[in-house]
Amino acid sequence: MAELPQVNNNNNSGGSVPVLFCFSVFARPSSLPLGSGYEGLVQKFVLLYGEHIDVRRKFVVQLFSEEWGQFIDLPKGFLLSEKCRLRLVPVQAQMPTLGNLLPSSTVFFCCDMQERFRPAIKYFGDIISVGQRLLQGARILGIPVIVTEQYPKGLGSTVQELDLTGTKLVLPKTKFSMVLPEVEAALLDVPGVRSVVLFGVETHVCIQQTALDLTGRGLEVHIVSDATSSRSMMDRMFALERLARAGIIVTTSEAILLQLVADKDHPKFKEIQNLIKGL
């Protein structure tokens, strides 16, 4: 494989390297921290072009080589060191979503579980209980948690039953989707994030719009069906059906937690098992 092109660049102030990110007919200049690797490059492509990327396809990142006068596959172990041109290229046809989960590449999203929704949302007490179990599971497994609150001035804060200790971000919002600039920045701080476990209210509004936005940015979304609800069960049902057809994974809290430990010999299995049993 050809050596990396040597480009003289003395403008890496603050440890930032200019990069031209190319995808399809687009080319957008941006920058990344010096030393960024493959995962950081992919996340940047998703941030720039998420609405154009079909996340069920496989892609390869390529680097423009001055020596060869064309793009070459990104060399193994590549670390960004100087100004360059990169492109993201689809390499095979659409693939089914497999839904594998690993603690190291997963983030939990807790959406708008607020006090003023309590009397209006069907089975609100139940989804609070399941939500608290998921938050405890995230703490046990060291999984980052991002929490939003929809217009808290009018709708109140997150319900007291949910312990937000150790969450990565608690953010007020007015937009229905949780995908705000602050949330996207927080995701970039999580190395190798691939999957989002999403729960909260309402299923047909904030959950649905968040799931679609995250999918458009290349992330695999798992909606916890027993931890999300709406005022109307019909709205909830049709939203979950629509999301499943879009390739988003609709699952349950127990399935999520056991998939994350994966093995009864996992050092945290007993804690997760007791959590599921309610002990």
**CA atoms of 241 and 232, how far apart (whole Å):** 15
| Phi, psi for 18 (deg, rounded to 5) | -70, 135
Instruction: Please report, to the nearest 10 degrees, the dihedral formed by the alpha carbons of residues 73, 77, 79, 85 taken in order.
Output: 0
Annotated catalytic residue 112: yes
Q: Using only the alpha carbons of the chain, give its radius of gyration.
A: 21
Single out the catalytic residue among 44, 84, 206, 213.
206
Whether residue 96 contacts residue 56, with contact meaning beta carbons closer than 8 Å, is answered with yes
Single out the catalytic residue among 44, 84, 173, 226.
173
Which one-letter amino acid corresponds to residue 70? Q
What angle is formed at CA 121 by the lines to CA 235 and CA 200, rounded to 5 degrees? Answer: 80
267 Cβ contact list (under 8 Å, min separation 6): none
**CA atoms of 22 and 212, how far apart (whole Å):** 23
Single out the catalytic residue among 112, 122, 153, 270.
112
Annotated catalytic residue 58: no
- Hey, which residues does 64 pair with through a beta bridge? 71
| Phi, psi for 130 (deg, rounded to 5) | -70, -40
Which one-letter amino acid corresponds to residue 208? Q
By CB neighbour count within 10 A (0-12 exposed, 13-18 middle, 19+ buried), where does 234 fall? exposed
Annotated catalytic residue 175: no
DSSP string, 121-135: STTHHHHHHHHHHHH
| Phi, psi for 144 (deg, rounded to 5) | -65, 145
> Running DSSP on this structure, what letter comes out for residue 30?
E
Active-site residue list: 112, 173, 206
